[in-house]
Chain A
Amino acid sequence: MGLNGEDKRIRALFCELKHEEKRTSPLFAKTWNIAEAEFHRRGFSRLRFQPSSNLLRFATAILVVSLVLAATVLLPRYLRLPRQPRQPKHDYAKQEAAAAPRATSEEPPRSRKVPANRESAKPTDRLVAIRRSVRVKKSPVASAQLARTVNQIKQNGLSEWQSPTAKLLRSAGDELLRFVPQMNESAEEMKKFLSNDLN
């Protein structure tokens, strides 16, 4: 390898370093004797870092075991997390089907005169419509309302159910529209009724 000025300079510096380190280097005999004494003391065994390495192995083993335990205990729990039970659609249909005949059988005598076409509407359709309208909101209040409505229908029958906004549709003249005047009804009674109603 050809040496240029820079290389020569570095070599010179390393030479100085070498000379200095040679002077300060420990004697071979001393180093060898220490190693030999250590060799005899240990009795041909590799005990140099046994305590620390054993401790390290022990700590690693504990760590591994605790990780495995944590994995076996926590993982199944995590996997078994209760999901929001999704009731399939046919459940509602079953409930409605069960509720519908009861509603018709427990139908109380008509105290009010309801138009015939409203009565003939399928109860299942109405329930589904109600549920849909509530489900769209997807809020706790809405679900609570839905639950209340379903309970009410279950208890009193479908014919008794009233929409929560039905009150808003009521007016003072509703009574007039609830019945149809009969042919033989006297004009006096009509007048009486009208005068009372107007007062």
Chain B
Amino acid sequence: MAPLMEISEVKAELEKHHSSGFGWALSCCGRDPSEAEEVLQLVYLKILDGRARYRGESSFKTWLFAVIRKTAASERRKNFLRKLILNAGAERMPKAPRTEDPALALERSETHARFRHALAQLPARQQQTLHLVFYEDLSLQETAELIGISVGAVRKHYGRAKASLRDLLLESEGNYGIEWRRQKNPSVVL
């Protein structure tokens, strides 16, 4: 077993994987930026107080992503319970003020919005599989290791996710579906 890393080393590694970690947190939180940010803060807090320790059993990125996934799932459960039972304002970590730049919002293309919408309609496991394969460029083996399921199951999720995404995009209105079909079969007359 590799010796535990110093906090400075861990911090450097975290900084390196921060943006991809945020993207993964977004994927685990249903693309909610504020929730993803809170999850990331919690992950860093877990690392600081020693609840999450990297022992060198896998790559740092795999370990970090696993911690993010578990934290996001735990947060989702807690939020659900809080809403369901207590409905009380439990102590929350102070959120960093987040204001979206209107210019950035305008920049979002229609295609992109449609893609986001289609992605959000997929089951969580399929979303995560697609994210890890296409967004993080991980192999199916690594994806299986990270999600904690077998490679066969990942392959199944991957296939289904792609098919569902294609269907959803084709169903969506506008030129995107037409463009998609034209790319697949250039001779098609639409």
A residues contacting B by CB (< 8 A) are: 1, 5-7, 9-11, 13-14, 16-18, 20-26, 28, 30-32, 34-36, 38-39, 42, 44, 46-49, 51-52, 55-56, 59
Contact = CB atoms under 8 A, between A and B. Distances in A.
Mostly, the B contact residues are helix
A108 B49 CA distance: 105
Contacts of B14: 28, 32
B30 interface: no
A168 B96 CA distance: 103
Contact of B48 (A10, A14, A30, A36): A36
A35 to B, nearest CB: 4
B44 A31 contact: yes
Contacts of B49: 39, 42, 44, 46
A13 B115 contact: yes
Interface of B: 11, 14-15, 18-19, 22-23, 26, 33, 37, 40-42, 44-45, 48-49, 51, 78, 81-82, 85-86, 88, 90-91, 93-94, 96, 98, 100, 104, 107-108, 111-112, 115-116, 130-131, 134-135, 139-140, 162, 165-166, 180, 183-184
B26 A21 contact: yes
Nearest to B22: A25
Contact of B184 (A6, A25, A32, A55): A6
Contact of A35 (B22, B44, B88): B44
Given A34-B41, A44-B49, 16 more contacts: A6-B166, A7-B162, A13-B111, A24-B104, A31-B18, A34-B93, A35-B45, A36-B44, A39-B49, A46-B49, A46-B51, A49-B78, A51-B90, A51-B91, A52-B82, A52-B90
Given A14-B135, A31-B44, A35-B41, A24 B18 contact: no
26 contacts: A6-B166, A9-B180, A9-B183, A16-B115, A20-B104, A20-B107, A20-B112, A21-B22, A22-B23, A25-B19, A26-B37, A26-B98, A31-B41, A32-B44, A34-B41, A35-B45, A36-B48, A44-B49, A47-B91, A48-B45, A48-B91, A48-B93, A49-B78, A52-B90, A56-B81, A59-B85
B5 to A, nearest CB: 16
Contact of A17 (B85, B115, B183): B115
Contacts of A25: 18-19, 22-23
A16 B45 contact: no
Nearest to B118: A13
A13 B131 CA distance: 11
Interface of A is mostly: helix
Nearest to A29: B15
Nearest to A47: B91
Nearest to B88: A52
A11 B133 CA distance: 9
A110 B111 CA distance: 117
A20 B135 CA distance: 12
Nearest to A13: B115
Contacts of B93: 34, 38, 48
A21 B23 CA distance: 7
Nearest to B184: A5
Contacts of A30: 96
Contacts of A56: 81, 85-86
B112 A17 contact: yes
A17 B42 CA distance: 24
Given A10-B165, A28-B15, A38 B96 contact: no
Given A22-B19, A28-B18, A5 B183 contact: yes
